[in-house]
Amino acid sequence: MTRTPTEIKAARMAPLARLPAFFALEGKRAVVAGDTQAAVWKAELLSAAGALVDVFTPAADEDMQALAAAPPHGRIIVHDRHWTAADIKGSAIAVADCADDAEAAAFAAAARAVGVLVNVIDRPAFCDFAFGAIVNRSPLVIGISTDGAAPVFGQAIRSKIEALIPNGFGRWAEAARKWRPRVQALALSFRGRRGFWEKFTARAVAAPGREPSDADLNALLTPGASADAGSVVLVGAGPGDPELLTLRAVRALQSADVILFDDLVAPDILDFARREARKMLVGKTGHKVSCRQDDINALMISLAKAGRRVVRLKGGDPMIFGRADEELAACRAAGIAVEVVPGITTAQGAASRLLVSLTRRGQARRVQYITGHGHDGQLPSDIDWHSVADPAVTTVVYMPIRTLPALVANALANGLDPTTPAVAVERATRPEERIVAAMVKDLPAQLAAAVPTGPVIVMIGRVFADQVAAGSDAPMSDGGTDQALSPLADRTKPFRAAR
């Protein structure tokens, strides 16, 4: 049997609660009736869109008067009286904040009688359209609607989008508006026009904070020019909790073509990346099978030279025991543009969950970070042991599991008080986090008994006295709800299932 080629039609649009549309109001008349804060806000929105706003209210408050005196764009005139049907005629849009349904019905009927679209604030039965939450990067404007079901939820979504859309996108959208006639004058084919705007978009996403210039336009119009010569960004993924990512880290992930990530990066972090981005594990795990640093550098450089936007994603902060200096040097030697997006360190994340200040007044004059893992996998030979023994310092030890017994023995031999409080935190800030608190002399044995299988950080200092004295974990926040964790003995059992 044979089958002839058959075109598969795209699925039909699913039902819409509202049709999203954007009104062109520049120079057009708009009517607002009411003297509430909601009416003031609607008058401001309409003016910002360029409308010539007539406000009808017998007792305009100070906010409305101040707005009329300094409108954001289109002029605002306040008329000291109630609205009439004749006031609405000739306007493009009419908005009212009515005291009751009777007034709302009258206003809506008057507007519809003369063919004017109407909105009665908080009374959807009398509305031809609804105002949504707005993300303003004009001329890039994003509207969000919940069809009046949950305005607060709409505002929360707006906040999320605000965090992800750089302010600089407004400048690039304005450049697109300015350059569009020049691009159209070239009489490019459909494919050529689409290719130009794809390159334009890639350039804007890669450099949202930069002012676009004619040099960008010329580069985009050059035949065969690529939108991006390739770049590398070292990004700190934080200690594990995805909500501890910085906004800049999220933006880097969403603009990446390729992401090279370590074993220490929590899998949920990768959910912030574009679906189309390649995600490549280049893990380096002590004493286990690992990617060689030289191979990672070579891969990173080759991808960037091929025009890819490469994100090198590292747990914690890339500048804290993340071998960032070697990767930065490799990029510079290859002439690859490189930058660093810092992350919340594992120490900061662990301390926040313990609710412990690492520099608590009267107990710690400074914080120091050391590594328990040298180039040869052994305890580094150049640790300043007298500094570790200082009772007024909080010492944070990265990669400590294998060498912790030797590290503690050396510190005790150089004067560290054996009763100094210490904590070991495994998988800090993640759902399966585990904590062991003990006097430093006992910590190696207790940590070994816990049989850790994930990344561990050890912190030593007087600031952890409460954790050791209590014999249990400090309170921590989990999804916004404070709760006391189980006793220490329970925390050395196998992990809870990850959520």
Question: Which of 286, 317, 344 is where one domain is finished?
Answer: 344
**Residues 481, 362: one domain?**
yes
- Whether residue 58 is preceded by a cis peptide bond, meaning omega within 30 degrees of 0, is no
* Cβ-based neighbours of 115, under 8 Å, separated by 6 or more: none
Q: Which residue's structure tokens are 């933006």?
A: 251
Measure the CA–CA gap between 35 and 40, rounded to whole angstroms: 7
**Residues 211, 251: one domain?**
no
Q: Which residue's structure tokens are 């039609």?
A: 9
CATH number for position 373: 3.30.950.10
**Residues 235, 270: one domain?**
yes
**Residues 241, 358: one domain?**
no
What pLDDT is stored for residue 248 in this prediction?
86
CATH number for position 311: 3.40.1010.10
Range of the domain at 336: 231-344
Q: Do 266 and 430 touch, CB atoms closer than 8 A?
A: yes
What pLDDT is stored for residue 70 in this prediction?
96
Give the torsion sign (CA, 438, 444, 450, 456).
Answer: positive
Question: Which of 291, 309, 344 is where one domain is finished?
Answer: 344
| Strand ranges in 121-272 using DSSP code E only, listed in sequence order | 133-137, 140-144, 231-236, 258-261
**Residues 339, 352: one domain?**
no
With respect to residue 151, please indicate whether it lies within any of the assigned structural domains.
Answer: no
**Residues 113, 59: one domain?**
yes
**CA triple 339-340-341, angle to 5 deg:** 130
With respect to residue 176, please indicate whether it lies within any of the assigned structural domains.
Answer: yes
Going by DSSP bridges, is the β-strand pair 76-79/93-96 parallel, antiparallel, or unpaired? unpaired
Q: How many CB atoms lie within 10 A of CB 23?
A: 15
**Residues 94, 205: one domain?**
no
Token digits of residue 446: 């207790």
Q: Do 165 and 142 touch, CB atoms closer than 8 A?
A: yes
CATH number for position 83: 3.40.50.720
Token digits of residue 222: 């050059």
With respect to residue 138, please indicate whether it lies within any of the assigned structural domains.
Answer: no
How confident is the chain (499 residues) per 10-residue block, as mean pLDDT?
Answer: 52 83 94 94 96 94 94 96 96 96 96 97 92 89 86 86 85 92 86 82 82 89 63 93 90 87 85 85 64 88 90 93 92 93 95 94 94 85 94 95 94 96 94 94 94 93 91 41 34 31
Token digits of residue 104: 């709302």
User: 229, exposed or middle or buried, with CB in 10 Å at 0-12, 13-18, 19+?
Assistant: middle
**Residues 359, 485: one domain?**
yes
Token digits of residue 195: 């290719």
* Cβ-based neighbours of 146, under 8 Å, separated by 6 or more: 132, 153, 154
With respect to residue 92, please indicate whether it lies within any of the assigned structural domains.
Answer: yes
**Residues 82, 198: one domain?**
no
Measure the CA–CA gap between 145 and 125, rounded to whole angstroms: 16
DSSP 238: B
Contacts 24+ apart (CB under 8 A), 444-451: 444/404, 444/405, 444/408, 446/492, 447/401, 447/404, 449/492, 450/424, 450/426, 450/491, 450/492
**Residues 396, 457: one domain?**
yes
With respect to residue 245, please indicate whether it lies within any of the assigned structural domains.
Answer: yes
Among all residues, which ones are annotated catalytic?
262, 284
Question: Which of 344, 375, 397 is where one domain is finished?
Answer: 344
Token digits of residue 2: 């044979």
Among candidates 284, 274, 285, which has minimal Cα distance to 309? 274
Q: Do 143 and 177 touch, CB atoms closer than 8 A?
A: no
Can you tell me whether residue 77 is helix, strand or coil?
strand
With respect to residue 159, please indicate whether it lies within any of the assigned structural domains.
Answer: no
* Cβ-based neighbours of 479, under 8 Å, separated by 6 or more: none
**Residues 320, 447: one domain?**
no
**Residues 377, 314: one domain?**
no
| Helices vs. strands in the chain: H and E counts, helices first | 17, 19
Number of domains in the chain: 4
In this prediction the pTM is 0.62
With respect to residue 360, please indicate whether it lies within any of the assigned structural domains.
Answer: yes
With respect to residue 100, please indicate whether it lies within any of the assigned structural domains.
Answer: yes
